[in-house]
Amino acid sequence: MITSDGLATLAAVVREGTFDAAARALHVTPSAVSQRIKALESDVGRVVVRRSKPCVATTDGEVLLRLAKQWDLLTSSAFAELTGAAEHEPDDPRDRPRVHLPIASNADSLATWLLPVIVDMQNRFDVAIEVMRDDESHNTEYLRSGQVLGALTSDPTPIRGCTERRLGATRYLPVAGADFARTWFPDGLKARDLARAPMVAFDRKDTIMAALIRRHTRTPLSPPTTYIPASTEYHRAVELGAGWGTVPQAQIADALAAGTVVVLSDDHVDIELYWQYWTVNSPLIAELTDLIVAAGRDFLV
């Protein structure tokens, strides 16, 4: 039988990194932590923790880790009665407990359309949303490891125990500052110029630029690259002339209208976005999903 103690202990071991640290966090002995993990592994017939430094969950352990986080969410939500009215209403409504909701997002969504969703959710419910940020092609790892209850991702294949909803696509335009474009791309995006023109990328996981270059050259290139790992600052770096880049259409619209940047090609890159989330009967997850889907429908193409 899988017990709540076993799940809580697994979560503590993975979170703290060692059995001794988990014991301190749980206020039990290291022997008790070891016994609980052994009992959990005996119950499921699988090894759930790799005894490395730090300890990490196995593939089967990740399933139980998600279950542990789901259990925490459901019990916390039940205590707060989901709508923000705790069982014993405090004198000051500001003292109501808030349910922790961890999610994963890519930087561009957070900078353009997700933040109002977060604010709306926290205004309507007693929740505190934690955003873990990574590239949209990597965010399912947060779901797989049980660190988040939902993720904005470009991966349409649902993780075990999760549901997937298509949101739409973020359209990226190849743009550059007007002076930069005249100097480096007098004839548009040509292979000879793409090979030497300075480029701005978000980070080394960013594949959007490489996809656009392949369309125009049919060959991989390694142009000089500046890395700016923040969405707003990335857009500003392109506008100021640090290099050319691909920027979300909605984010660059004002600069295009002002003439401080120009579009280098009619070509564009559309990155499909999906919302993957735990398949559990949680009104909070349902409300968050509705808000995300509605915002995606309004903003994405």
What does the pLDDT look like over 100-148, one tens digit per residue? 899 999 999 999 999 999 999 999 988 899 999 988 888 988 888 778 8
Residue range 15-71, pLDDT digits in tens: 898 999 999 989 899 888 998 999 888 888 888 888 888 888 888 888 888 887 777
CB-facing half-sphere around the CA of 156: CA atoms within 13 A: 6
Q: Which residue, among 173, 150, 177, has the nearest Cα to 238 in the 3D structure? A: 177
Q: How many CB atoms lie within 10 A of CB 186?
A: 9
Separation of alpha carbons 71 and 284, rounded Å:
14
Q: Which whole-number Å values give the CA distances from 204 to 20, 189, 258, 260, 301, in the listed order?
A: 36, 22, 30, 27, 26
pLDDT above 70 as % of the chain:
93
Average pLDDT, the chain: 87
Evaluate if residue 291 carries a pLDDT over 90.
Answer: yes
pLDDT value at position 76?
67
pTM of the predicted structure, to 2 decimals: 0.76
Look up tokens 């399912």; give the residue: 140
Q: Which CATH architecture has domain 169-271?
A: 3-Layer(aba) Sandwich (3.40)
